[in-house]
Amino acid sequence: MTERIPVNPGTVDWAGENPGIYLKDTPDGDYVTLALYFRIVLSPHGRGHTMLILGAPDEAKGYPDATNLCLTDNEPLTHYLIDGFVSKFPTFKDKPGLKAATWITSAAFDKSGDLKASYTETAQGKDVSASMTWKDMNPPFAVEVSPAHAVTGAHDMYSVFLEAKDAEILVNGAALNGRVADRVLFGETISTAFLAFAETWVTPAK
């Protein structure tokens, strides 16, 4: 095993929570609904929350024509996260719904539930409410990845994941399409619904 270096010499980009829910109609099909949540405690743009929901990731339409929404309480932070990170994630890269998503600013955010049976993040904007719920969680595990394994291909990343066997995304009380599936990440087959606590992204030193 490689010997651990206790102090990462890189530059910390952001830290916080970054859970997600990716849903499919069939196990072999494309994703029909994508959602990410960010509770950021440290970044170049301060603290804040973002809930990104793409109910039609392959359609270049915003809300209400399609359920492509981005709720935020810190717009510069959300631009930083989407431009610098989300848009480089393979699942979100070049998705027309990401660029077309309607932004809802000054949203309010809250959480509820436990970390075993059901856990919910909610976002309330003007005329729009949204929620992401993870159900039936597995025990947590820690991951640490170098750029070779990071979804951006350019960062060190630390996180604690809890896989959820089931999940649901609601917008104004209506459930979005799709079901939880499996995917291979970091060499492991894991659920496409996951909580991610203690997530830290670091740009490696040159």
Partner 1 sequence: MPLSDQPKNPGAIHWVGENPGIMLKETEDGPWTALMLFFNIAWSPHGQGRTMLLLQNPNEAKSLPETHNVIMGDNEALTRFLQAEFIEKLATFGGAEGYKALQYVPITEAYATGDPHSRYTEVVKSKDFDVELVWDGLGTPTALEIPPELTGTKKHTMFSLLVESRDPAILIDGRKLPGKPGKRVQAGIETTTAFLYFCETWIWAPDS
Tokens of 101: 């998503």
| Range 158-197, binding partner 1 (CB under 8 A) | 158, 160, 162, 186-188, 197
Supply φ then ψ for residue 89, to 5 degrees: -65, 135
| Closer by beta carbon to partner 1, 141 or else 177 | 141
- State the CB neighbour count (10 A cutoff) for residue 200: 18
With CB under 8 A as the contact rule, which of the stretches 20-28, 80-88, 133-141, 175-183 interacts with partner 1? 133-141
Tokens of 8: 């990462």
| Closer by beta carbon to partner 1, 106 or else 146 | 146
Supply φ then ψ for residue 84, to 5 degrees: -90, -20
| Range 101-120, binding partner 1 (CB under 8 A) | 114-115
Shortest separation between residue 10's beta carbon and partner 1, angstroms: 7
| Range 5-64, binding partner 1 (CB under 8 A) | 5-10, 12, 15-17, 41-42, 44, 46-47
Separation between Cα atoms, residue 38 and residue 50, nearest integer Å: 5
Separation between Cα atoms, residue 9 and residue 104, nearest integer Å: 37
Chain residues that interact with partner 1, rule: CB under 8 A: 1-2, 4-10, 12, 15-17, 41-42, 44, 46-47, 114-115, 139-146, 148-149, 156-158, 160, 162, 186-188, 197-200, 202, 204
